[in-house]
Amino acid sequence: PMLRVAIMGLGSYGTRVAEAMQDCKKAKLVGVISGTPSKITDWQSKYGIPKKNCYNYENFDAIKDNDDIDAVYVITPNGLHCEQTIRVARAGKHVICEKPMGINAEEGQKMVDACKAANVKLLIGYRMHFEPKTVHVIQMRKDDKFGQPKFFQGQSGFVIGDPTQWRLDKELAGGGAMMDIGIYSINGARYILGEDPIWVTAQETKTDPVKFKEGVDETIQFQMGFPSGAVANCLSTYNMNNLDRFFMTGSKGWMEMKPSTGYGPIQGRTHKGELTQPHVTHQTLQMDGMAELIFNGKQPIVPVDGEEGVKDMKIIDAIFKAAKTGDKVEINI
């Protein structure tokens, strides 16, 4: 069967996902949830979406009576994900939710619990977990090609524009660069090293306190320590361009990717040579992979479920605490 998906939030990323889904073999865009009537009619004519599959933010609970929709993909500002995910779960539909899943671990856990209680799946939009070069490197690590991973370096950032956008609003974004882009280095460290951190340290710098208000991080450098003794050193920023790079060295080999998490093509190499896996639009692979997961229980190489999302939120909570206090923060995720 096809996974029949409604997209909630018809902004820039929602539009990208809709386009990518046109090439999916196992997932299909069938509905929309939006607060903007003109966008709904545009999408209806562009994607052939019937009126009965169109909702707004007030009435979408009624999706529970719609047998033509299996899942809702939440692609709204971060601060809205938790409430919207819980409402979708209560309507009995699977939820795919964009990263970061919420604005802290407490929200993430509430979302996991609500989806469990409603007996629906909760998947987080970790598209890199389906990307061929990334999958290849993770498989190499699993096959011990790098030996014991020792050190990961992640750099994630870009210069953010318009100071009035929701990404710079604490309520809607939950933070700044860390929530939006730094999370890629956190998640990347975990899938490249194959472990979860047990401590973090962090240092914050802010050069523009007008643009980056209280609680909205501009630049944070952070370190993570892992049970094996591996360490990671990462940079998250909204104030520097061309930062999209992963590096890892282990006892037997190494890898580097740049770009490592952009829309692609991803590029990189290992001690064995260039990564040559073909580029396929990430969101197309992701949505077909998520359909396989929902219908056949086929897991991607590393998880994309709500619990995976909560781990990243716990690490972000700890990084914010470490940056504020200067302390080394122990975590148990």
Q: What residues are annotated to the active site? A: 99, 184
Nearer to ligand NAD by C-beta: 53 or 76? Answer: 76
Near ligand NAD by CB under 6 A: residue from 14, 188, 225, 289: 14
Minimum distance between the CB of residue 183 and ligand NAD, rounded to whole angstroms? 8
The radius of gyration of the chain's CA atoms, rounded to the nearest angstrom, is 19
> Does residue 151 interact with ligand NAD by CB under 6 A?
no
Classified as helix, coil or strand, 283 is helix
Residue 244 has φ and ψ, to the nearest 5°, of -155, 70
Q: What is the largest CA-CA distance in the chain?
A: 58
Residue 159 has φ and ψ, to the nearest 5°, of -85, 120
> Does residue 174 interact with ligand NAD by CB under 6 A?
no
Nearer to ligand NAD by C-beta: 125 or 188? Answer: 125
> Does residue 9 interact with ligand NAD by CB under 6 A?
yes
Nearer to ligand NAD by C-beta: 220 or 230? Answer: 220
> Does residue 77 interact with ligand NAD by CB under 6 A?
yes
Tokens of 108: 């993430």
Size of the site for ligand NAD (CB under 6 A): 19
Minimum distance between the CB of residue 228 and ligand NAD, rounded to whole angstroms? 29
> Does residue 317 interact with ligand NAD by CB under 6 A?
no
> Does residue 78 interact with ligand NAD by CB under 6 A?
yes
Residue 296 CB coordination number (10 Å):
9
> Does residue 127 interact with ligand NAD by CB under 6 A?
yes
> Does residue 11 interact with ligand NAD by CB under 6 A?
yes
Q: Which stretch binds ligand NAD (CB under 6 A): 4-12, 114-122, 188-196, 226-234?
A: 4-12
Tokens of 97: 């939710």
Tokens of 216: 């909205």
Query: Residue 132: CA atoms inside 13 Å, Cβ hemisphere, count?
Result: 12
Spatial separation of the C-alpha atoms in residues 217 and 177, rounded to whole Å = 6
Spatial separation of the C-alpha atoms in residues 247 and 256, rounded to whole Å = 4
> Does residue 180 interact with ligand NAD by CB under 6 A?
yes
Q: Where do we find the tokens 């094996």?
A: 228
Residue 153 vs residues 38, 192, 223: alpha-carbon distances, Å: 44, 10, 9
Nearer to ligand NAD by C-beta: 12 or 164? Answer: 12
> Does residue 129 interact with ligand NAD by CB under 6 A?
no
Near ligand NAD by CB under 6 A: residue from 4, 93, 99, 245: 99
Minimum distance between the CB of residue 131 and ligand NAD, rounded to whole angstroms? 11
Q: Which stretch binds ligand NAD (CB under 6 A): 7-15, 144-152, 210-218, 290-298?
A: 7-15
Kind plus residue range of the DSSP H or E element containing 49: none
Q: Which stretch binds ligand NAD (CB under 6 A): 12-20, 239-247, 273-281, 305-313?
A: 12-20
Spatial separation of the C-alpha atoms in residues 57 and 79, rounded to whole Å = 14
Minimum distance between the CB of residue 81 and ligand NAD, rounded to whole angstroms? 7
Spatial separation of the C-alpha atoms in residues 185 and 32, rounded to whole Å = 31
| Percent of residues in the chain assigned helix, strand, coil, to nearest 5 | 40, 25, 40
Nearer to ligand NAD by C-beta: 86 or 230? Answer: 86
Classified as helix, coil or strand, 185 is helix
Spatial separation of the C-alpha atoms in residues 241 and 221, rounded to whole Å = 15
> Does residue 75 interact with ligand NAD by CB under 6 A?
yes
> Does residue 181 interact with ligand NAD by CB under 6 A?
no
Chain positions contacting ligand NAD, by CB under 6 A: 9-14, 35, 75-78, 80, 98-99, 125, 127, 166, 172, 180
